[in-house]
Amino acid sequence: MDLKRTLSWVDSASLMVTSIIGSGIFFTTGFLLNDLSSPIGVLICWILGGIFALSGALTFSYPAVLFPRAGGDYIYLKEAFSPVLAFMSGWSALLANLSANIAVLAIAFSDHILLLFPGWKEIINFHYTFLGFNLEFGSKQLIGFCLILFFTILNIRGIKQAVKVQNFITFIKIGGLLLFIFLGFTFGNKDFSNLGSGEITPKGIALGMVPVTFSYLGWNMITYLAGEVKDPEKNIPLSIVVSCVFTIFIYLSINLLYLVSAPVSSLKGEEGIGVVSATFLFGDWIKPIFTIFILWMVAGSLSSILMGASRVYYAMAKDGLFFRSLADLHPVYHTPYKSILFQGGYASLLLIFGNIKSLIFMITCAVFLLSTITALTVFKLNKKQADVSYKIPLYPLPPILFSIGNLILIFYLTYESWENTIWGLGISLSGIPIYFLFKKNKDN
């Protein structure tokens, strides 16, 4: 029994939009303005980030069409290069990349809930230091666990039902963003002269691209679910192009609105630039409404990442290179329910660590490096699969742009914090002995 193909291109595009547009759009530009004082420079970063994301998505669409199976990068690296390299990619996704993203979103959800109900903050509060790690358990972790549990159960009960909920979340999310953009430009307090301030520098653009790239992550989510997409040769590329172009439009529109809503000095370094901008545009009454809207967006992103991530471990288990039971499908819902439970449980465990975001930054360079290698699979597969009708638009430009962009980001991240690069590579390389351990058990 295998996964069923139930996703249309609309479902696929909806999942991608929800994966990409998360809470990052509400705080990233505040951090950007620390390194880049020019509003025009900020918009350039978001344009370049969109081109980078679209290049990556188009690049990954080719192996997704060739191998429309659950697993994403893991499948493509295995088919083109080596099962060891593929396992390293899946291992990194488990230890930090996808799992920590789920945990960070759950904590972000908790933080915003506690803004609405500050009295809940001290109901439970436990701190403990173990082997240098700060472990925490309190109301924040409990709320995050409940959110992960809810979407874990929802995803187990079938992708069709989960996608219906996801589409509803996406409808409200996109409708709310479009309404915010329309009302902001039509009725909000704006000053377009704010755009003329500051100075654009190459270093500022390069540093700004790092958080912008994080905000565009999620463009590859449909590749993890490729085994459940109807007519993958048509629907995967279509959903990728539609979702990426639409996301670029949303991101540019919202950031332009931010930058004309208030002076740079009022937005610089603001973690909640979305709320700050909305307050300048409409007044203090908007704060609780905007906070609830952010909660909605965060929940949708968490659900889609949980859905996609679980398919990576399912694919690894099917190959006998992970716990075999994770390849089991539910007898009624036909979902990889043990893999979904495993992902939800592991992400919940990460909630107790005091600084989950540091784990993401630790693995970032390794993830970018593995993404670059995955992009290179296109050139090898293109020679082997010359008879395939689907071709990447503007080939070979997308994979070249994506690979160069990744290498630039790796360089700057290493320059800023070489320790995180070393740790990230160490975590990825630790997958090699684990791979041979599973392989040995498989062969026996």
Nearest in space to 199 (alpha carbons), one of 434, 40, 408: 40
In the chain, the percentage of residues whose pLDDT exceeds 70 is 93
Domain that holds residue 336: 9-443
Q: Is residue 4 part of a domain?
A: no
CATH code, domain carrying 266: 1.20.1740.10
- State the pTM of this model: 0.82
| 45 close to 32: Cβ distance less than 8 angstroms | yes
- In the structure, what pLDDT confidence band is assigned to residue 360 with cuts at 50, 70 and 90? low
How do residues 181-232 score in pLDDT, each as one tens digit? 999 999 988 889 888 877 888 878 877 887 788 788 778 777 877 778 888 8
The arithmetic mean of pLDDT across residues 270-282, rounded, is 84
Over residues 1-26, mean pLDDT: 77
Establish if 360 belongs to a structural domain: yes
Residue 43 has pLDDT above 90, yes or no: yes
**pLDDT of res. 93:** 78
- Is 80 exceeded by the pLDDT of residue 10? yes
- Could you tell me if residue 2 is inside a domain? no
Segment 343-366 mean pLDDT: 76
Q: Output the pLDDT for position 260.
A: 93
Residues 388-431 have pLDDT tens digits of: 678 888 888 999 999 988 888 888 778 777 777 787 788 788 88
User: What was the pLDDT predicted at 323?
Assistant: 85
Averaged pLDDT, 350-366: 70
Split at pLDDT 50, 70, 90, the class of 105 is: confident
Q: Over 70: is that where the pLDDT of 124 sits?
A: no
Q: Is residue 304 part of a domain?
A: yes
pLDDT band at 164 (very low <50, low <70, confident <90, very high): confident
Q: In this predicted model, what pLDDT tens digit does every residue of 45-85 receive, in sequence order?
A: 999 999 999 999 899 888 888 888 877 888 888 888 888 88
Judge whether residue 9 has pLDDT over 60.
Answer: yes
- Alpha-carbon span 105 to 327, nearest angstrom: 26
> What is the phi/psi pair of residue 229, to 5°?
-100, 130
Angstrom distance (rounded) from CA 28 to CA 48: 15
pLDDT, the chain, mean? 84
Rounded to the nearest 10 degrees, the angle between the axes of helix 28-35 and helix 202-216 is 170
Average pLDDT over residues 243-267: 91
Domain count, the chain: 1
For residues 53 and 21, the answer to whether their CB atoms sit within 8 Å is no
Digit-coded pLDDT (tens) for 129-145: 765 567 778 888 899 99
Q: What is the pLDDT of residue 80?
A: 85
The answer to whether residue 85 sits within a structural domain is yes
- Cβ neighbours for 72, distance < 8 A, ≥ 6 positions apart: 60, 64, 220, 223, 224, 226, 308, 311, 312
Contact between 131 and 330 (Cβ < 8 Å)? no
Whether 57 maps to a domain, the answer reads yes
Would you call 80 helix, strand, or coil by DSSP? helix
37 — pLDDT class (breaks 50, 70, 90): confident
pLDDT digits (tens, 9 = 90+) for 277-324: 888 999 888 888 888 888 888 888 888 888 888 888 888 888 888 888
| pLDDT band, very low/low/confident/very high, at 387 (cuts 50, 70, 90) | low
Domain assignment of residue 1, yes or no = no
Residue 3 in any domain: the answer is no
Report DSSP letters for 112-145, one per residue: HHHHH-GGGTTSSEEEEEETTEEEEEEHHHHHHH
Q: Which residues contact 431 (CB under 8 A, 6 or more apart)?
A: 87, 88, 90, 91, 92
